[in-house]
Amino acid sequence: MMSRLERLRALMHQQQLDGVIISKPENRVYFSGFTGSSGVLLVSGAENRLITDFRYLEQAEAEAPEFIVIRHGSDQNPTLKMEIDIMGLKRVGFEGDFYTWDAYRRLTEVAAEPVAVHLDELRIAKDAQEIALVRQAVLLADKAFTHVLSYIKPGVRENDIALELEFHMRKNGAEKIAFDIIVASGKRSALPHGRASAKIIEVGDMITMDFGAVYQGYHSDITRTVIVGRASAKQREVYNLVLTAQLAGVAAVAPGITGREVDAAAREIITAAGYGEYFGHGLGHGVGLVIHEQPRLAPGSEIILSPGMVVTVEPGVYLPDWGGVRIEDTVVVAAAGAEVLTASSKELFELDL
């Protein structure tokens, strides 16, 4: 936590801030360790304070030893104002990408000179501890995928598959699922975000499963597409195309490369095969305390990758009234290139009936 606070204070110095108010849950956890659902951090050049309510006092003391814990009443703002005045803070940063207009209006009654700052950039590269937690979240998802392959058969519902994935991950240590599980089969697999439905699995269906686990606050994200029975020639063609593009995207991940360049490495393969209009989303996104964060791997992304960043690589082809294929790994940007955390095989699984 101390190194994170040091980087925060360096940003404060750069922007000439006397202090920073931190309210966004993921930033609150990142800079303090406090995992409660209510509270605000107040950090100055020399002091760290965590303002929360009666429910979380003991938890805050245990989880955030670098912070002085202060209890507020029914409204945190009077306490926040009192602490700002006691600390003599004038120019105070706040998370401009998080506050609503009403919250900002109330903030102007608390801080004399509020200044919008963006703190997410301080989380963009993960340290060794964070990568270890992501790795564990990835492992939980990998194990769930292996397990669910023996469960899938004609007659089960997409909802059943999603429930089986969630149960397996949570039974084996996940706090929760990383997002609403996507299970899209048959023609529904052409829906990039086709959440699990009551549709019954049939022979010949392609099934796209996109899911992840949360472990100690950190997320994983995996997508695999399987076939129930033998693949048709077209299913095999599209699958192999997406796999080729996915491998090219992974190979392009390296320090010094922009998100746009990584995206292009995969996108150009799909476009050259005549399917470019059917790949309508970015190649990937950052993963950490939030399931979708920076850096983005997308046509407009000029963010330069650096060691410690964790991203997904997930090209797809989605053909209306036919179906779709997506393959996704969670990847760490390492000094030598990409370290793929996802261990699940990317071979075309043709599931026995």
- The pLDDT profile of the chain, 353 residues, written as one tens digit per residue, is 789 999 999 999 999 999 999 999 999 999 999 999 999 999 999 999 999 999 999 999 999 999 999 999 999 999 999 999 999 999 999 999 999 999 999 999 999 899 999 999 999 999 999 999 999 999 999 999 999 999 999 999 999 999 999 999 999 999 999 999 999 999 999 999 999 999 999 999 999 999 999 999 999 999 999 999 999 999 999 999 999 999 999 999 999 999 999 999 999 999 999 999 999 999 999 999 999 999 999 999 999 999 999 999 999 999 999 999 999 999 999 999 999 999 999 999 999 87
Q: Which pLDDT score, from 0 to 100, does residue 353 have? A: 77
CATH code that applies to domain 128-351: 3.90.230.10
Nearest to residue 68, comparing CAs of 89, 88, 52? 52
CB-based contacts of 121, cutoff 8 Å, min separation 6:
294
Euclidean distance between CA atoms 69 and 39, whole angstroms: 10
Q: Which pLDDT score, from 0 to 100, does residue 183 have? A: 98
Q: Which pLDDT score, from 0 to 100, does residue 352 have? A: 87
Euclidean distance between CA atoms 10 and 16, whole angstroms: 10
Q: Which pLDDT score, from 0 to 100, does residue 200 have? A: 98
β-pairing verdict for 310-313 and 293-297: unpaired
Cα-based distances in Å from 159 to 144, 152, 205: 15, 11, 15
Q: Which pLDDT score, from 0 to 100, does residue 188 have? A: 98
Longest dimension (CA), the chain: 72
Amino acid at 273: A
Q: Which pLDDT score, from 0 to 100, does residue 1 have? A: 78
β-pairing verdict for 91-95 and 19-22: parallel
What is the SS3 assignment for 351? strand
Euclidean distance between CA atoms 6 and 134, whole angstroms: 23
In the chain, the N- to C-terminal Cα span, in Å, equals 52
CB-based contacts of 119, cutoff 8 Å, min separation 6:
8, 11, 20, 22, 24, 27, 95
Euclidean distance between CA atoms 206 and 189, whole angstroms: 7
Q: Which pLDDT score, from 0 to 100, does residue 122 have? A: 96
The domain locations on the chain are 2-123, 128-351
Euclidean distance between CA atoms 3 and 26, whole angstroms: 17
What is the SS3 assignment for 313? strand
Residue 85: both structure tokens together: 């005045």
What's the CATH number of domain 2-123, 3.40.350.10, 3.40.50.1820, 3.30.300.30, 3.40.50.40?
3.40.350.10
Q: What HEC string does 256-286 produce?
A: CCEHHHHHHHHHHHHHHCCCHHHCCCCCEEE
Q: Which helix (H) or strand (E) holds 205?
A: none
Sign of CA dihedral 300, 304, 310, 312: positive
What is the SS3 assignment for 116? strand
**34, 64 in Cβ contact below 8 A?**
yes
Q: Which pLDDT score, from 0 to 100, does residue 296 have? A: 98
Q: Which pLDDT score, from 0 to 100, does residue 245 have? A: 98
Q: Which pLDDT score, from 0 to 100, does residue 246 have? A: 98
Q: Which helix (H) or strand (E) holds 175?
A: none
